[in-house]
Amino acid sequence: MQRLPFQGVRVLDSTYVFALPYAGGLLADLGAEVIKIEGPGRIDVTRGGAWSGAFPENTPGEDWWNRSSTYNLLNRGKKSLTLDLSNPKARALFADLVKVSDVVMENYTPRVMKGWGLDYPNLRKLRPDIIMVSNTGYGHGNGPYSNYPAQATTQEATHGHCAVTGYIGGPPSKAGQSFVDFLASWTALFGIAAALRLRQRTGQGQWIDIGMYQCGVMFLSEFLMDYIANGRVAPRIGNRHPFRAPQGVYPARGEDQWVVLSVGSDEQWRALCDLMGKPHLAHDPRFADSLSRLKNHDALDEIIRAWTSQHDRYELMYRLQEVGIPAGPVFNARDMHIDPHYRAREFLEYVEYPPERGMGRRPLIGRPWKASATPARIQGPAPRLGEHNEAILVGLLGLTPEDLQELEKAGIISQVPRESRLEPRVSPEEMVRRGILAEWDPQYRQRLGI
Amino acid sequence: MPNGLLEGVTVLDLSQGIAGPFCARLLGDYGAEVLKVEPPTGDYLRRVGPFFHDDPHPEKSLFFLVLNLNKRGITLNLETELGRRLFLQLVERADVVVESFPPGYLARLGLDYPRLARHNPRLVMTSLTPFGQTGPYSPFAGEEIVSYAMSGIMAISGTTDREPLKHGGNQAQYDAGLLSAAATAIALFSAGATGQGEHLDVSITEVVASTLVGNQPYYAFMGGIQGRRQPKGTLLANPMPCKDGWVIVQPGGGATWEDIADFLGRPDLKDPKFSTNEGRRVHGEELDAILLDAIKERGRWELFREAANRRILFGIVQDAKDLAECPQLASRGFYREVEHPVIGRVKVPAVLCNFSLTPYTLRSPAPLLGQHNAQVYCQELGYSREDLVRMRQLGVI
């Protein structure tokens, strides 16, 4: 077994929802010991709230808080400790953990950690070379929005994503699901790895202050430059491209089946005309050159649509790619699980849950990159709430079993959440009727071999 | 005081376009020495707008400028014997190579990772491609929209009465660039401990697919397939028009549903039928009508500030103008000014995040094509001025 990059690195992960919990999950894939800390009265909303996703066979079960799909994907391979940080005793334990850890991650609004005396200047006193990561909506500091509450849904509007996303002539549109969270995830991974490297060289730690907003704005750099230098605010162009034409998403044979293609040269355009069985179109003055194609895009779309709708989306992909035209089907969640390319690259990794958890074996998103010398892997299931309370508090900090009982009695630690945050469930058929799901596939287990 | 977060790291950036150059720029932003290695014809992004004052001059692409800050630049033709030899000399002194050639291209030139690693075992090579180095689609042509479609994110973007919708701009490319910077930093940390570098294979499509943490396990846990939004009854948590723009309000966070009703001045929102997520979905169209009516006479900035006072999750749709003038970004030092030899002085989006010990530094604008040829080939690799001229004449640089 080769050495994983973060072997021997201990991470305190006092984070919620998507962004930093996912970064923590990936650190665990890469060998770090990641301790997820939640309050018994403030469990992660991905365990049962609006972002919890699905439960195995749509059945929350008695310990629903350990069984949601989103929680289990993001928090794989971690240890779970409950600590009610609003209690000073819990904060003392947290401080003791900081002394034996390398990285602390948190995503409270700026005033919270400061109020608890757990901000960077204080953590540094406990462990001078600690690396601390804070992720907030708008970033720490004295800016007007620094203490504004935020989540991806509202941030995609503020960071500029919605303004450039939407059908031509239509309203600004939200991303399909949270997007900006993951920019903060990757930023945190970058920061932690680079800061650990610097610590390896100099022995110094530091504080990494991430504002999701800022990460999101960075991804619109070309739009910002066009305004700064040219005073232009670009319109929404739907699925089109500023200079490649035709480009778009077109219906393929079957219900809700789509293919995208993008033509960037006269050569590709001629090849497309040939594929469509309309070689004469290559000389049609409306479409013969690139500027004309941009101008007459609507007419072009109609012609392409008439052709694509007669063919299977995979067939279209292969035929278009064969002549060098960038193209591919619009994949949904099922496609991602069964497509031969995703399978060949083992993008999804199977996680086996212990029998007593009644969750079986499930494929989960691995990592978006492959490394030749350090073969990371999902190290194990996400933990049950408080599963490692004893291992950490007794095993690592040296508390006695009696101390543990005291803490439990005082409600500082627990394996059961203090209050239920479970969203009510309806049947899969009803989810489809209400538009929560586009489709339900009762055969999914056979397809996945689970 | 360390000389930057990534002090002591040398990067050769062979990549073109958006994803790879953004990765290399981030490494440079935080202290790595980045040398951009372009073919004599230049990175194709030099020909992509926006251009400064809409002048499509080869040195005035603002897109190229912003993705190649903090780099020096040389030209080098890898398809010549001498070009490859020069490249290997550079590799011996480098810690990282970032590249975005089609899979197999570097191997055909004899410059694939195993061969580069023979010259420099500590080398980290980061390869960014649309579909990755392996698998049946590896040789396929990519484009932003194709990565979007095949990542799965387009299937859940847009509305059910219309076609799937791509996100605006080049989100997949930036996303892959940022992730690649993270993967590279991880490999550098690992190499610092083991002395061994490695090859990183980043698929741009998979980077976007990796963000589908709600969508993917919905299928794996119960066979659920998510789709696009309903065209009606879903205005909550979607942009909706107010007097002077668009706003978005979301339940959750520190505020209750009652708080939202009070904030909007609409007691009818307190009807029990709206009190749960489920109820708000079932009675969505009715809810849409109340929300639209409640905000139609109100201004977005007033709403934004007032919602924050009440701890309500709230956003306003900001465009490039709003963002260029944003006081929050100013307070974070997000924009910096750069002096470019052809463009002049211009403001650029610069700072990804803040590091307390090793802050962001803007050390140079994007390089002009071949700007540092003499510096690198003569001063650093020891070739003479006469050799430099010959290399130019032979199409090597």
What are the pLDDT digits (tens) for B197-245? 999 999 999 999 999 999 999 999 999 999 999 999 988 889 999 999 9
Same fold? B10-211+352-393, B240-316: no
- Asked whether the beta carbons of residue B319 and residue A163 sit closer than 8 angstroms, the reply is yes
Tell me which residue of A26, A202, A103, A347 sits closest to B186, measured CA to CA: A26
Does residue B1 sit at the A interface (CB-CB below 8 Å)? no
Dist. CA B384–CA B397, nearest whole Å: 14
pLDDT at A1 over 70: no
Report the pLDDT value the prediction gives residue A243, as an integer from 0 to 100: 96
CA angle at residue A332 from A330 to A336, to 5 degrees? 100
When the pLDDT of each residue in chain A is averaged and rounded to a whole number, the result is 96
Mean pLDDT for A280-295 is: 96
Dist. CA A134–CA A211, nearest whole Å: 8
Dist. CA B35–CA B13, nearest whole Å: 6
Dist. CA A12–CA A36, nearest whole Å: 6
Report the pLDDT value the prediction gives residue A177, as an integer from 0 to 100: 82
- Asked whether the beta carbons of residue B156 and residue A179 sit closer than 8 angstroms, the reply is no
Say which of A181, A301, A312, A339 is annotated catalytic. A181
**Helices within A75-211 (DSSP H only):** 88-99, 110-115, 120-126, 152-158, 161-164, 180-202
Q: Chain B contacts of A225, Cβ < 8 Å?
A: 50, 62-63, 65-66, 346, 348-349
What are the pLDDT digits (tens) for A300-345? 999 999 999 999 999 999 999 999 999 999 999 999 999 999 999 9
Does residue B197 sit at the A interface (CB-CB below 8 Å)? yes
With a CB-CB cutoff of 8 Å, which residues 121-150 of chain B face chain A?
130-137, 140-146, 148-150
Dist. CA A363–CA A366, nearest whole Å: 9
Report the pLDDT value the prediction gives residue A178, as an integer from 0 to 100: 87
Does residue B171 sit at the A interface (CB-CB below 8 Å)? yes
Report the pLDDT value the prediction gives residue A375, as an integer from 0 to 100: 86
pLDDT range class, residue B79, cuts 50, 70, 90: very high
Name which CATH class applies to B10-211+352-393.
Answer: alpha beta
Find the CB nearest B324 among A174, A227, A363. A227
- Asked whether the beta carbons of residue A190 and residue B182 sit closer than 8 angstroms, the reply is yes
Query: Which residue segments constitute the domains of chain A, with CATH numbers given?
Result: 10-218+345-448 (3.40.50.10540), 247-332 (3.30.1540.10)
Q: Chain A contacts of B348, Cβ < 8 Å?
A: 221, 225, 228
Mean pLDDT for B81-101 is: 98
| Cβ neighbours of B41 (radius 10 Å) | 11
Does residue B193 sit at the A interface (CB-CB below 8 Å)? yes
Report the pLDDT value the prediction gives residue B204, as an integer from 0 to 100: 98
Does residue B317 sit at the A interface (CB-CB below 8 Å)? yes
| Cβ neighbours of A52 (radius 10 Å) | 24
Find the CB nearest B222 among A55, A181, A214. A55
Report the pLDDT value the prediction gives residue A316, as an integer from 0 to 100: 98
What are the pLDDT digits (tens) for A406-450? 999 999 999 999 987 787 889 999 999 988 999 999 999 999 999
pLDDT at A59 over 90: yes
Q: Which architecture, in CATH terms, is B240-316?
A: 2-Layer Sandwich (3.30)
Q: Give this complex's ipTM.
A: 0.98
User: Which residue is closest to B181 within chain A, CA to CA?
Assistant: A190
Cis peptide leading into A246, omega within 30 of 0? yes
What are the pLDDT digits (tens) for B338-375? 999 999 999 999 999 999 999 999 999 999 999 999 99
- Asked whether the beta carbons of residue B192 and residue A197 sit closer than 8 angstroms, the reply is yes
pLDDT at A176 over 90: no
Structure token pair of residue A400? 């006695």
Please say whether the beta carbons of B76 and B36 come within 8 A.
Answer: no
Q: Chain A contacts of B311, Cβ < 8 Å?
A: 149
Min Cα–Cα distance to chain A from B354, Å: 5
Residue A181: active-site member: yes
Does residue B239 sit at the A interface (CB-CB below 8 Å)? yes
The ranges assigned to domains in chain B are 10-211+352-393, 240-316
What are the pLDDT digits (tens) for A206-236? 999 999 999 999 999 999 999 999 999 999 9
What number of C-beta contacts closer than 8 Å exist between A and B?
573
Report strand pairing: B10-13 vs B96-99.
parallel
Dist. CA A315–CA A319, nearest whole Å: 6
Report CA-CA distances (Å) from B112 to B80, B139, B140, B177. 16, 16, 19, 21
Report CA-CA distances (Å) from A299 to A289, A303, B162. 14, 7, 18
Find the CB nearest A193 among B189, B218, B248. B189
